[in-house]
Structure 1
Amino acid sequence: MNPSYKASLPDQVLKWVLRSIDACTAIRSVERLYGGTSSLVYHISLENGQGVQSFVLRLFNNQEWLHKEPDLALHEAESLDWASWHGLPAPEMVAFDETGRECGWPAVLMTKLKGSVVLSPQQEESWLNELAEILVHIHAVNADNFPWTYFSYNDPDDWELPNWSRFPKRWGIAIDYVKSSRPESRTCFIHRDYHPANVLWTQNTITGVVDWVNACRGPAGIDIGHCRVNLAQLLGVKAADAFLTAYQTHAGSAFHYDPYWDFVSLIDFLSGPPKVFSGWKALGVSGLTDQLMAERLDDYMAHLVGQIS
């Protein structure tokens, strides 16, 4: 064991990693990665006669999530394979422990991509344009035979008007709109959690997209809507609109915009009073407050309602 470890993992996990790659390889370092909120993620460096290799290990330790979706490790492994087979900038799957028999928790071991997350871009317009262009490439992938299908995280019957909002009646309009009939849409491969904290950059160019555990067959609009509501909170409504415009430019006639998916994505955030996403804080974002998040969600909702009124 190398004393340069920055984080510790149980011996059984480290032994599984070595067996999965090369038992003759030495572990150089283990470092906890922050930014995600639903699992434990580590950067593991291995060294052999050919040099140093970097991998990412995800341990699914969230019992509530596992109870709802016990196949999380299998799902991410299949998603990574699907993305790689179709030439998307995703990590390559190395090994997975579906049930946790080897690691104690279900686990996925994958290659580590180059790049870092950028959440405060110096050139916002080009940054948004790149975010949109990569998402268009993801949605160009056919997913007819992919085993997982999109479903809504929340039950419409459970939605209530937010007591923190400045415009509760307008939220009522938004909720009623989503409760109306779901529009028909083209089905494609979707990431299902596409937002800036899951995108890696090197010198103003995207080098990878990570966190594919929720990928599935579904409507492109839900990916766009999820990214837009994240952008609205992180940077404001103008950034969310600029992203949509860029996506429409790159997708052309292959995409038909329907605000329904923006409303679905927005209302998914109504599980409680708005808070600054802890992943943003872990990745160095400062200056945001819970109050600002509530104001920006209100502003974004009012903007969307204005489009259908």
Structure 2
Amino acid sequence: MTDHDEAATAAVRPLTLAWVSRHLDVGERIVRAEALHGGITAEMRRLTIGRRDGGTRDLVLRSFVDPFYVERAEDWLSRETGALTMLAGTGVPAPGLVAVDPAGTHCEYPSLLMTRLAGRTVLKDEGLETRVPLLARQLVAIHALRPAERPRDYVTLTTADTVVRPKCADAAVWSAAVDVIRKPPPPYEGRFLHRDFQPGNVLFDVPSSRPAGARITGVVDWAAASWGPADLDVAHCSTTLALLHGPAWGLRFPEAYEEAGGVLAAGARERLYWRVRDGLASSEEVRSVTQPWREAGRTELTTRVVEERLDAYVTALMDTPG
């Protein structure tokens, strides 16, 4: 290894570096390591791999280093491994699995190595009218998959007792919303879920000269892939759109999903249950999600602004007829 290579890979821990190297093709080496920003649960690095022919290719290394997430990493990485294996060849643009160390047996921390997809996340308001239908069509395609082996059922961690009501919120409205999720979940027809489908996990190619020509190039972070109601994935993307771009976009997304051919719960009460459940779930995560958004350039999205948008979105849901 040259001095240049040693400097480039210094950011990758020694055991992890050796593990990655064992999974490269003969004659390949890591020539550069670059931190990727925007993730919440894991440390992400882009690895540039030098090939024997003089060219390069890129891989992505995900490592769980925070003690809270390390405890959950084996389950998440096992889910993601199963999802990426199943997605290969389906037409859904997901990363290709290269190697995984779910228990941190070979690396300093539980890690996953995968191919890098082209494109970038786009969190700005400009061009949203083009991207929302694309997001909807992509989610319909994901829900249409029928895996040979069904993944584990979805998990919702939020309960009526853990909801955090924003200071700006109307207590009566939020109390009524909490009462909605005190009830048992309505019956549903199961679908393959991404479970964290939202703009931060979707990559786009957006031509600078023609924003309307945007296209999706990848869907990432399959660690929570599971089986459950399509409404739950739609609700999660709706909530994120509401916080990123305003409540109206959160209300718009279910319509876009149905326009793309997706099928949601038939009854208004059933739809309300899933949308309110996800909206309330985000009340516990406002601070953690707003930080990477600000780092990505959305500096105006302070905790207070996002809490106000969440309150407006939950209020709009509770005001929906039916």
Contact 1:46–1:54 (CA<8 Å) still a contact in 2?
Answer: yes
1:283-304 CA-to-partner distances (Å, cap 9, x unmatched) read 2222222221111111101100
1:154-208 CA-to-partner distances (Å, cap 9, x unmatched) read 233x235626133011001111011123111111111111110111011211100
Alignment partner for residue 20 of structure 1, among 16, 23, 31? 23
Distance in 2, Cα, partners of 1:143 & 1:222: 18
1:212-270 CA-to-partner distances (Å, cap 9, x unmatched) read 11111111111111111111111111111222211110125x33361211111011123
Coordinate RMSD, CA, aligned: 2.0
1:159 is the counterpart of 2:169:
no
Contact 2:290–2:306 (CA<8 Å) still a contact in 1?
Answer: no
1:99-138 CA-to-partner distances (Å, cap 9, x unmatched) read 1111121111000000011111432211111111101111
Alignment of 1:121-132 (within 5 A): 121-132=125-136
Cα gap change, 1:273 to 1:202, in 2 (>3 Å): closer
Q: Which AA in structure 1 matches 2:120? A: S
1:205 is the counterpart of 2:209:
no
What are structure 1's unaligned runs of at least 5 residues?
A: none
| TM-score normalized by the length of structure 1 | 0.92
How far apart are 1:48 and its partner, in Å?
A: 1.3
Contact 2:132–2:253 (CA<8 Å) still a contact in 1?
Answer: yes
Distance in 2, Cα, partners of 1:160 & 1:75: 27
Structure-2 residue corresponding to 1:194: 197
Structure-2 residue corresponding to 1:115: 119
Alignment partner for residue 75 of structure 2, among 62, 71, 82? 71
Contact 2:238–2:254 (CA<8 Å) still a contact in 1?
Answer: yes
Percent of residue pairs bearing the same amino acid type: 31
1:218 is the counterpart of 2:228:
yes
4+ aligned runs moved over 6 Å, structure 1: none
Contact 1:89–1:209 (CA<8 Å) still a contact in 2?
Answer: yes
What are structure 2's unaligned runs of at least 5 residues?
A: 207-213
Structure-2 residue corresponding to 1:177: 180
Contact 1:144–1:217 (CA<8 Å) still a contact in 2?
Answer: no
Q: Name the count of aligned residue pairs.
A: 307
Structure-2 residue corresponding to 1:84: 88
1:63-108 CA-to-partner distances (Å, cap 9, x unmatched) read 2233346322222111111222432110010110121111121111
How far apart are 1:144 and its partner, in Å?
A: 6.5
Alignment partner for residue 60 of structure 1, among 57, 61, 64? 64
Distance in 1, Cα, partners of 2:72 & 2:60: 24
SS in 2 for 1:268: helix
* Higher mean displacement: 123-132 or 276-285: 276-285
Structure-2 residue corresponding to 1:305: 318
| TM-score normalized by the length of structure 2 | 0.89
Contact 2:163–2:284 (CA<8 Å) still a contact in 1?
Answer: no
